[in-house]
């Protein structure tokens, strides 16, 4: 009787209604009592108490109008008694996780041209994520059927997995539906454009559709899914309080429910119904992040241990019925059908006492869509002067700068005013001064990387203060978007589909020509017992002081990790000069005594070293000699990548210097002296100090 909104007595009959005046049940009077007839509850009646907001959470925060349309069209089972007339409450998590800019373009209606499933699929790769998922994934591949709008997502650890995953997907769906895929639409990502992928599709007669360069809107269906899925992931993580590393679990849960929600182009049907021909049910769906109790089988516990474990619901089981539950104590996800879920309790809050809302900038999501970083606060005139404006951290620059005399790395933040803030206290003062909301959780002054040896090496040549002009100009360039970064290929195949293909080929030809001039190898026929090393190309782009592209650099590197100690190499040690000695001599000889100093960079230094052990290597990719494809390279000179290359180069250099009259220092083997001349060696970099110009005649 507590849930009754209205009770009506008429002709010895008592009628009880809900608070919305909807008829509930009747009772007939007999003597002084009203008799209620008992009967089994229908399945639909069991769901009368489920409100619209709870369904909204169960479906991973899908939009409310879509749920109402699904109720009207009876698209799925489980929404029969949901009252759609009651105004739903505004979802705070949706407002936080799905905020976007206002579109300035006119409304555009996409017209579906496909007539059946697998006529066309849209593919795109998202990533890398700033944090790895629970399984170590950094990317996800989305494949969307154009006709049904059914979505399949696959989490990946690297881009190289795209091809193998697509082949598994193609084999599964074609066998499942008994149809052949006709067309694939992708962008120009290197993971989709390499030769093996294109050859595989052409051999199967599958049409390849690609977008134009720098026009991601032409692959709008896949790009739009990337945006909507990440909006949902942010919202679900924000609502549940789970850490960002649960992004993959939230993504799979979202796709599971998204495939069971109707689409505006599918005429009231859901993607799953169009795909399989059966109307799906959402009665099993529960709110992401709810408290869950997982039954423990008898074989896994004794008579005194609890019969269930407490966890947090993070999705639905794959390829079986059941749920996925995160067990915090065991730090793992389990799948089970024997799960009791309490949607009234938040799992994180119940187990840990409070919900911590993390900074869910999971990725610059709209890098290929609309850039959400252009958000600005409302006009200052329309807001009260006492109320601080919201702070948009995406418009700030975070810079990590290694110190010159220690291994410490300083972290600075630069607001749009380009003022450098050194600490969280500086940020607080800046926000108070500019009337901005201050949230310390948005700022991280801990370095994300350790100082590398390259950075330490570069510091001895370029010692600048933290207030240098170069740093200021660097930050200024970032704010003005003047820095242009070219994507560097990782393999030879990527260079052949790169827009800078000719430049990379020219750089590789230059490297091969240098090796031919140095007579690095001879081609020989391989023998059965011969150990042959592989090789690969390594690419880089050199920039000048204004960040303009100076040179495309290619280097052939042997796979030295396959060398056998004692067989393919013995000694590997090569002496190097200490940086403290370089600094000391620079101050003493140059600054105090006024000596001359010069720096020499030896081009292809390792290629001068002679090998004392025969080593065989495959011919470099892209430069295999025609008619001798089965031949291998017998190395005469050391090459980059070999264990002994550094030592062989140092021995060759020392022999040359000894012939010029230099003497090697006993305490520092990287230091050579000759009368009024001192020479320091660090791998292929040489620093020379001389009292006069005439002392450098040996260089000729």
Domain-ending residue, one of 320, 352, 384 = 352
Domain shared by 242 and 297, yes or no? no
Domain shared by 677 and 539, yes or no? yes
Q: Is residue 99 part of a domain?
A: no
Domain shared by 583 and 497, yes or no? yes
Domain shared by 118 and 145, yes or no? yes
Q: Is residue 430 part of a domain?
A: yes
Q: What mean pLDDT comes out for the span 330-335?
A: 90
pLDDT, tens digit (0-9, with 9 covering 90-100), for 277-297:
899 999 999 999 999 999 999
Q: What is the pTM of this model?
A: 0.45
Domain-ending residue, one of 251, 276, 301 = 276
Confidence of residue 311 (pLDDT cuts 50, 70, 90): very high
Q: Residues near 84 by Cβ (< 8 Å), separated by ≥ 6?
A: 52, 67, 68, 71, 72
Q: Is residue 192 part of a domain?
A: yes
Domain shared by 209 and 323, yes or no? no
Higher pLDDT residue, 194 or 460?
A: 194
Q: Residues near 256 by Cβ (< 8 Å), separated by ≥ 6?
A: 315, 316
Domain-ending residue, one of 222, 242, 276 = 276
Q: Say how many domains are in the chain.
A: 4
Do 606 and 649 form a contact (C-beta atoms < 8 A)? Answer: yes
> Residue 673: phi, psi to the nearest 5?
-130, 150
Give residue 435's pLDDT. Answer: 78
Residue 558: helix, strand or coil by DSSP?
strand
Q: Rounded distance, CA 314 to CA 60, Å?
A: 11
Domain shared by 271 and 296, yes or no? no
The verdict on whether omega for the bond into residue 128 sits within 30 degrees of 0, i.e. cis, is: yes
CATH number for 257: 3.30.420.10
Domain shared by 561 and 639, yes or no? yes
Domain shared by 134 and 192, yes or no? yes
- Which of the 8 DSSP states describes residue 32? T
Q: Is residue 423 part of a domain?
A: yes
pLDDT, tens digit (0-9, with 9 covering 90-100), for 605-645:
888 889 888 899 999 999 998 888 889 999 999 899 999 88
**CA 508 from centre of chain:** 30
The number of beta carbons lying within 10 Å of the beta carbon of residue 103 is 9
Domain shared by 248 and 294, yes or no? no
* Residue numbers of the domain that contains 348: 290-352
Higher pLDDT residue, 494 or 537?
A: 537
Domain shared by 247 and 320, yes or no? no
Q: Is residue 101 part of a domain?
A: no
Q: Rounded distance, CA 576 to CA 595, Å?
A: 23
Confidence of residue 467 (pLDDT cuts 50, 70, 90): very low
Q: What mean pLDDT comes out for the span 436-455?
A: 63
- Which of the 8 DSSP states describes residue 89? P
Calculate the average pLDDT of the chain. Answer: 79
Q: Is residue 388 part of a domain?
A: no
Give residue 90's pLDDT. Answer: 74
Domain shared by 311 and 178, yes or no? no
Q: Is residue 418 part of a domain?
A: yes
Domain shared by 142 and 230, yes or no? yes
* pLDDT(383) > 50: no
* pLDDT(86) > 90: no
Residue 17: helix, strand or coil by DSSP?
strand
Q: Is residue 10 part of a domain?
A: no
């Amino acid at each position: 009787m507590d849930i009754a909104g209205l009770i009506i007595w008429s002709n010895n009959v008592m009628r009880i209604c809900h608070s919305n005046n909807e008829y509930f049940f009747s009772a007939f009077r007999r003597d002084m009592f009203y008799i209620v007839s008992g009967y089994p509850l229908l399945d639909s009646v069991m769901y009368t108490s489920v409100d619209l907001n709870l369904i909204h959470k169960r479906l991973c925060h899908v939009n409310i109008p879509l749920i109402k349309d699904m109720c009207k069209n009876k698209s799925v089972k489980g929404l029969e008694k949901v009252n759609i007339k009651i105004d739903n409450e505004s979802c705070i998590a949706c407002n936080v996780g799905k905020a976007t800019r206002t579109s300035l373009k006119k409304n555009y209606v996409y017209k579906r041209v496909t007539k059946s499933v697998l006529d066309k699929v849209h593919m795109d790769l998202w990533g890398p994520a700033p944090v790895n998922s629970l399984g170590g994934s950094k990317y996800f591949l989305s494949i969307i059927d154009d006709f049904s709008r059914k979505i399949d997502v696959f989490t990946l650890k690297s881009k190289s997995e795209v091809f193998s995953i697509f082949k598994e997907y193609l084999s599964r769906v074609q066998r499942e539906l008994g149809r052949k895929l006709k067309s694939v639409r992708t962008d120009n990502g290197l993971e989709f454009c390499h030769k093996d992928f294109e050859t595989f599709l052409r051999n199967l007669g599958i049409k390849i559709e690609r977008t134009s360069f720098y026009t991601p809107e032409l692959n709008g269906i896949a790009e739009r899914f990337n945006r909507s899925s990440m909006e949902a992931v942010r919202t679900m993580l924000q609502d549940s309080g789970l850490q960002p590393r649960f992004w993959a679990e939230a993504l799979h849960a979202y796709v599971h429910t998204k495939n069971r929600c109707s689409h505006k182009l599918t005429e009231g049907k859901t993607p799953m119904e169009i795909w399989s021909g059966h109307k799906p049910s959402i009665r099993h769906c529960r709110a992401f992040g709810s408290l869950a109790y997982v039954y423990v089988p008898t074989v896994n516990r004794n008579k005194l241990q609890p019969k269930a474990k407490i966890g947090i619901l993070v999705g639905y089981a794959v390829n079986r019925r059941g749920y996925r539950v995160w067990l915090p104590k065991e730090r793992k996800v389990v799948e089970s059908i024997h799960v009791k879920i309490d949607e009234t309790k938040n799992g994180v809050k119940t187990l840990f006492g409070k919900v911590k809302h993390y900074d869910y900038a999971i990725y610059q999501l709209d890098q290929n869509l609309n850039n959400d970083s252009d958000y600005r606060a409302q006009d200052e005139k329309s807001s009260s002067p006492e109320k601080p404006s919201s702070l948009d951290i995406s418009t700030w620059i975070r810079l990590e700068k290694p110190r010159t005399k220690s291994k410490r790395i300083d972290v600075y933040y630069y607001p749009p005013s380009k003022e450098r803030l050194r600490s969280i206290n500086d940020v607080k003062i800046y926000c108070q001064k500019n009337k901005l909301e201050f949230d310390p959780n948005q700022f991280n002054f801990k370095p994300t990387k350790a100082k590398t040896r390259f950075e330490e090496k570069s510091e001895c040549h370029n010692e600048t203060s933290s207030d240098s002009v170069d740093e200021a100009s660097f930050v200024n360039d970032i704010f003005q978007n003047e820095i242009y970064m070219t994507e560097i290929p990782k393999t030879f195949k990527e260079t052949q589909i790169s827009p800078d293909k000719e430049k990379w080929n020219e750089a590789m030809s230059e490297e091969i020509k240098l090796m031919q001039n140095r007579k690095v190898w001879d081609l020989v026929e391989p023998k059965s017992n011969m150990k042959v090393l592989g090789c690969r190309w390594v690419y880089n782009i050199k920039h000048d002081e204004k960040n303009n592209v100076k040179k495309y650099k290619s280097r052939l590197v042997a796979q030295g990790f396959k060398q056998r100690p004692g067989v393919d190499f013995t000694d590997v040690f090569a002496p190097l000069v200490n940086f403290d000695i370089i600094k000391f001599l620079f101050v003493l000889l140059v600054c105090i005594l006024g000596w001359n100093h010069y720096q020499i960079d030896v081009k292809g230094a390792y290629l001068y070293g002679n090998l004392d052990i025969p080593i065989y290597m495959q011919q470099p990719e892209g430069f295999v000699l025609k008619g001798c494809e089965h031949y291998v390279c017998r190395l005469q000179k050391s090459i980059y990548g070999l264990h002994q290359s550094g030592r062989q180069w140092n021995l060759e250099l020392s022999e040359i210097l000894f012939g010029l009259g230099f003497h090697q220092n006993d305490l520092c083997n990287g230091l050579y002296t000759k009368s009024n001349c001192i020479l320091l060696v660090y791998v292929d970099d040489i620093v020379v100090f001389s009292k006069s110009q005439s002392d450098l005649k040996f260089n000729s």
